[in-house]
Amino acid sequence: MSNQELIELGQKYLLNTYGRLPVAMVKGQGTHLYDADGNDYLDFVGGLAVNSLGHCHPDIVKAIEEQANRLLHCSNLYWIEPQIKLAKLLVDNSCLAQVFFGNSGSEANEGAIKLARKYASLKYGQERHEIITMKQSFHGRTLAALAATGQEKFHQDFQPLPQGFTYVPFGNLEALKEALGPKTCAVMVEPIQGEGGVNVPTMDFMQEVWKLCQEKDVLLILDEVQVGMGRTGTLFAYEQFGVEPDILTLAKALGGGVAIGAFLAKEQVTAAFKPGDHGSTFGGNPLATAAGLAAVNAILQDGFLEQVKEKGLYLQNQLEKLQTKYSFIKEVRGLGLIWGMELDRPGADVVSKCMEDGLLINCTNSTVLRLLPPLIVTKEEIDVAVAIMDKALSSV
Ligand SMILES: *Cc1c(COP(=O)(O)O)cnc(C)c1O
């Protein structure tokens, strides 16, 4: 079927929840995607930070094939081998002690919220249930994750949302200190806000938040659904800021393209959950965790993360050159291989023009061009992408 035929069917049969671009992707290889008409795109969206190892990475394909031939699903009534192995790998490479697996970022955050509340409730009573999150944050689309999301535009029309969430401006320590009281059980932060416009906090802010949380025995939940798994140049983004979360949430790149989510917690926190407190039918299923195991092992290979840092600095440099050329580029910000370019005008036209020339980028928060290339991108591909962006920017 052609792009046009697929789009017509999709418009008829799918709920109209996404502002989709007019192409249907049917194949991927490495950093490239191909649409139904055979057009070739350099992919700097990377499935919104899911396809960090590119498309059809041989290790992931092999792991999925082997696991599909062995055992696709098995209930959490029993122990599951790849689930245990992936949990061990994550724990061995983080400051956290144990893992719970779900299927998405929202589900990971829902679990983190429940765990934080149970921990505080056991220790201080149910009054202590409030969670402070940041304005411009994004934590997912399910109701509690939506309530945690500090953006009014996502809340409209879905009231009433679960109670107990308050919001402070990202980066404003004084506002956080003021909001934090005896009812606060956790502070939830994205180490870099992805959907909110690639907003990078200062190291100082993150460290002060951590210190404050430790002083008050308030749990620090870091949502690394988008920026975890090597995106910033370290396996976890918290390493970049010299802080340690009490609870860490992961999803997007964790399964190498297969749906998976997880939250990890420190030892004193994990003890709050007992059998029956939480669960998920598909959570940690053999297929997703086998793929995750292959993905995490690939990210942990010698020199891989070093290359992410190096290529990230190179991309930053090229983007800053564009900024000196075009006065309507207000700011370039990011870390590793997540970059945002804030314009003084909407970015949708730039996205469309880039796509016409074979480059996929994304625009978030209407004016921020966001780049999330696969971590396997080459410098040559970065040059190609920047040249296409240059041309698109020159025409708006
Ligand atoms: C994408 C995202 C989520 C939601 O993940 P889903 O898998 O879509 O539920 C949550 N938090 C952050 C930071 C995200 O980027």
Backbone phi and psi for residue 167, each to the nearest 5 degrees, phi listed first: -125, 140
Q: How far apart are CA 284 and CA 273, in angstroms?
A: 17
Residue type, 11: Q
Give me the pLDDT at residue 79, please.
Answer: 98
Q: Is the CB of 362 under 6 A from ligand 1?
A: no
Q: Which residues pair with 131 in a beta bridge?
A: 165, 186
- Residue 223 CB less than 6 A away from ligand 1: yes
**Residue 243 pLDDT:** 98
Cβ(224) – ligand 1 distance below 6 Å: no
3-state secondary structure 372-385: CCCCCCCHHHHHHH
Separation of CA 140 and ligand 1 centre (Å): 5
Helix axes 286-299, 58-70, angle to 10 degrees: 150
Nearest alpha-carbon partner for 392 in 341, 355, 365:
355
Sequence-separated (6 or more) residues with CB below 8 Å from residue 165: 130, 131, 132, 133, 147, 148
334 lines ligand 1 (CB under 6 A): no
Residues 223-243: b if buried by 16+ CB within 10 A, e if exposed: bbbbbbbbbbbbbbbbbbbeb
**Is the Cβ atom of 340 under 6 angstroms away from ligand 1?**
no
Is the minimum distance from the CB of 194 to ligand 1 under 6 angstroms?
Answer: yes
Rounded Cα distance between 3 and 358, Å, is: 15
Q: What's the Cα-to-Cα distance from 337 to each of 172, 190, 220, 226, 311, rounded to whole Å?
A: 26, 16, 25, 11, 7
Written as tens digits, the pLDDT of the chain (396 aa) is: 999 999 999 999 999 999 999 999 999 999 999 999 999 999 999 999 999 999 999 999 999 999 999 999 999 999 999 999 999 999 999 999 999 999 999 999 999 999 999 999 999 999 999 999 999 999 999 999 999 999 999 999 999 999 999 999 999 999 999 999 999 999 999 999 999 999 999 999 999 999 999 999 999 999 999 999 999 999 999 999 999 999 999 999 999 999 999 999 999 999 999 999 999 999 999 999 999 999 999 999 999 999 999 999 999 999 999 999 999 999 999 999 999 999 999 999 999 999 999 999 999 999 999 999 999 999 999 999 999 999 999 998
Question: 224 CA to middle of ligand 1, Å?
Answer: 9
Pocket mutation for ligand 1, best pick of 139, 229, 236, 258 (most atoms within 8 Å of C-beta): 139
Residue owning the nearest CA to atom 5 of ligand 1: 105
pLDDT value for 197: 97
Phi (first) and psi of residue 58, to 5 degrees: -60, -35
- Give the integer Cα–Cα distance in Å for 52 and 29: 12
Tokens of residue 318, six digits: 């090229």
Helix (H) or strand (E) holding 329: strand 329-335
Report CA(326)–ligand 1 centroid distance (Å).
Answer: 32
Is 195's C-beta closer than 6 angstroms to any atom of ligand 1? Answer: yes
φ/ψ of 18, rounded to 5, equals -120, 140
Predicted TM-score (pTM) of this structure: 0.98
Residue 381 beta carbon below 6 angstroms from any ligand 1 atom? no
User: In the prediction, which pLDDT does 264 show?
Assistant: 99
What separation in Å is there between the alpha carbon of 74 and the centre of ligand 1? 26
Counting ligand 1 atoms within 8 A of each CB, the residue from 104, 106, 254 with the most, and so the one to mutate, is 106
C-alpha span between 252 and 261 (Å, rounded): 7
Q: Measure the CA–CA gap between 26 and 18, rounded to whole angstroms.
A: 18
Tokens of 21: 């671009």
- DSSP per residue, 186-243: EEEE-SSBTTTT-BPPPHHHHHHHHHHHHHHT-EEEEE-TTTTTTTTSSSSTHHHHT-
Verify whether ligand 1 is closer than 6 Å to residue 43 (CB atom).
no
The reply to whether ligand 1 has any atom less than 6 angstroms from the CB of 133 is no
Q: Count of CB atoms within 10 A of residue 327's CB?
A: 8
295 Cα–ligand 1 center, Å: 18
Of 226, 218, 243, nearest to 116 (Cα)? 218
351 lines ligand 1 (CB under 6 A): no
Domain borders along the chain are 59-299, 309-336
Query: What are 63-112's pLDDT values in tens digits?
Result: 999 999 999 999 999 999 999 999 999 999 999 999 999 999 999 999 99
Identify which of 240, 211, 212 has the alpha carbon closest to the alpha carbon of residue 308.
Answer: 240
User: pLDDT tens, 194-251?
Assistant: 999 999 999 999 999 999 999 999 999 999 999 999 999 999 999 999 999 999 999 9
The CATH architecture of the domain made up of 59-299 is: 3-Layer(aba) Sandwich (3.40)
Q: How far is the CA of 51 from the centre of ligand 1 (A)?
A: 14
**Ligand 1 centroid distance, CA of 1 (Å):** 31
